[in-house]
Amino acid sequence: MSAFTPIDRYLENNRQSHLEQLFELLRIPSISADSTKKGEMEAAAQWVANRLQSAGLKTELIPGDGPALVYAETPPVPGKPVVLVYGHYDVQPADPLDLWKSPPFEPVLRDGNIVARGSTDDKGQMLTHVLSVLAWHEAGMPLPLQVKFLIEGQEEMGSEVLEAKLPEIAKKLACDVIVISDSSQYAKGQPAITYGLRGIAYFELRVHGPKADLHSGSFGGAVTNPGLALARILTDIKTPDGRIQLPGFYDSVVSLEESEREMWRSLGFSDAKFAEALGVSALTGEEGFSTLERRWARPTFDVHGLLGGYQGEGSKTVIPSWTGAKISFRLVPNQDPKTVGKQLREFIASHTPPGVRVEVIDLHGGRGVVVNPNSHFMKGAVHAVEEGFGVKPVLIREGGSIPIVAQMVDALECDVLLIGWGLDDDGAHSPNEKFCLEDFYRGIRASSRLWHHLAQ
């Protein structure tokens, strides 16, 4: 019988209860981007706060100009490191709704997975840490270090409240290492610890043409079409071989280390299987880099949505007065989203066709982050994950962005551990988002070990 037996017994006996708790949270449609969902956002924050309180933590809701931050802490343990668990209770919008096989906010088990909006991103992953702290508490064992929780409600739309509050609450959040589970394992059965994230600079472009929609018969051919002008600008931003054309865009990009490229080559990533899983006939991207390098450690440019003109059934012959696009650049250390915004405006000023005006709206931005893959905390995390999952984790980076992470690391001068329990095909922002049921349980178990190993 190990020191962990009471905790493991508790976890074993409470599998059903833990799942029910997650289902409860998943039923709250806490979509931060939807301004009609304020009540649901409050309900989700309150739900998380109640959970933490019932696990014996000193808990509070920190109000701000937007969804409240949930903060909680266990008692300090002198001489031991302080861990801050960061997560979020907000979720992405669920549309297109007609592609969901079951309603996004009515969680179900299907093929061994928990299916619901927010299951993997991030309610299910975040809850593993709440439940592991609860397990120590219920097993009557004092935690070997202080654990703080900061669970916010705006991760999916730019963490504005947290960003604004950060200077004010930095002292409260003071810690040695931040722990975040909001990403993926390397593959099914192969857990990973992520030591780098990309940043992001997200914008909306609006191309304004004539002051009203025009009849394309009477006017077509004599005015710049805002739809074509937008297409030309988007096309100009990135070359067919994947190079971004903003002036100075690559100046501050940190190059990949040869040791990293070597480590990732050894992962045996299969382009063919990846393409097949995504349903594409070919992979494309920046010349001179492998698929993993393109996804994890190189900047890129994407269109997320196209706007404007007639979108109904059949045909309507208008020259739209305006069109638009949601776009973003994924950034790598040390690129700065504000600098990229300037570069974008400069580029557009010199690439706007005559007869239209282009508006650039900043939506959100965040720096990338990369930490030392050989740190003391990293080694502890490797042990914890191995004990939770039964497999030694590999060290990877992640292409996604958690913009607030870089800001917190800077503000709190701490380390960070990104330990994702998800899988690449979870569909984090897509219909039928899922989270593997057994990984939910393994995640709780790994988390329960983490407090021990980080305290060594």
Q: Among residue numbers 88 through 127, which ones bind a second copy (CB under 8 A)?
A: 92-93, 95, 99
DSSP 165-221: HHHHHHHHH--SEEEE--SB-SBTTB-EEEEEE-EEEEEEEEEE-SSS-EEHHHHTT
Out of 21, 190, 216, 407, name the contact with a second copy by CB under 8 A. 216
* Residue 296 C-beta-side C-alpha neighbours within 13 Å: 23
How does DSSP classify residue 100? -
Q: Which is nearer to a second copy, 25 or 200 (CB)?
A: 200
Q: Does position 223 bind a second copy by CB under 8 A? A: yes
The count of other CB atoms within 10 Å of the CB of residue 435 is: 28
Q: Which is nearer to a second copy, 75 or 355 (CB)?
A: 355
- Show the binding pattern over residues 357-396: x = contacts a second copy (CB under 8 A), - = does not: x-----xx--------------------------------
Out of 117, 148, 198, 442, name the contact with a second copy by CB under 8 A. 198
286 has catalytic annotation: no
Q: Which is nearer to a second copy, 23 or 289 (CB)?
A: 289
Out of 330, 434, 442, 452, name the contact with a second copy by CB under 8 A. 330
State the nearest-atom distance from the C-beta of 176 to a second copy, in Å. Answer: 27
* Spatial separation of the C-alpha atoms in residues 422 and 433, rounded to whole Å: 11
Of the candidates 223, 204, 261, 263, the one whose C-alpha atom is nearest the C-alpha of residue 394 is 263
Q: Which residues 393-422 are close enough to bind a second copy by CB under 8 A?
A: 398-401
Q: Does position 218 bind a second copy by CB under 8 A? A: yes
- Catalytic residue of the set 90, 415, 426, 433: 90
* Spatial separation of the C-alpha atoms in residues 164 and 152, rounded to whole Å: 12
Tokens of 120: 């993997």
State the nearest-atom distance from the C-beta of 386 to a second copy, in Å. Answer: 24
Q: Does position 256 bind a second copy by CB under 8 A? A: no
Return the axis-axis angle of helices 437-454 and 15-26, rounded to nearest 10°: 100
Q: Does position 235 bind a second copy by CB under 8 A? A: yes
State the nearest-atom distance from the C-beta of 299 to a second copy, in Å. Answer: 8
Residues contacting residue 353 through CB under 8 Å, at least 6 positions apart:
224, 229, 232, 233
Window of 22-30, 56-64, 72-80, 295-303 that interacts with a second copy by CB under 8 A: 295-303
Backbone angles phi, psi at 147, to 5 degrees: -115, 125
Q: Which residues 17-36 are close enough to bind a second copy by CB under 8 A?
A: 33-35
> Which uninterrupted H or E stretch holds 335?
none
For tokens 């030591």, name the residue. Answer: 195
90 has catalytic annotation: yes
Q: Does position 270 bind a second copy by CB under 8 A? A: no
Of the candidates 110, 130, 180, 191, the one whose C-alpha atom is nearest the C-alpha of residue 437 is 110
- Catalytic residue of the set 40, 121, 122, 155: 155
Q: Which is nearer to a second copy, 209 or 393 (CB)?
A: 209
Of the candidates 104, 101, 106, 87, the one whose C-alpha atom is nearest the C-alpha of residue 34 is 104
Burial class (CB in 10 A: 0-12, 13-18, 19+), 272: exposed
Q: Does position 184 bind a second copy by CB under 8 A? A: yes
SS3 436: strand
Window of 22-30, 143-151, 237-245, 379-387 that interacts with a second copy by CB under 8 A: 237-245
Q: Which is nearer to a second copy, 107 or 420 (CB)?
A: 420
State the nearest-atom distance from the C-beta of 343 to a second copy, in Å. Answer: 18
How does DSSP classify residue 249? T
State the nearest-atom distance from the C-beta of 454 to a second copy, in Å. Answer: 27
- Show the binding pattern over residues 29-68: x = contacts a second copy (CB under 8 A), - = does not: ----xxx---------------------------------
- Residues serving a catalytic function are 90, 155
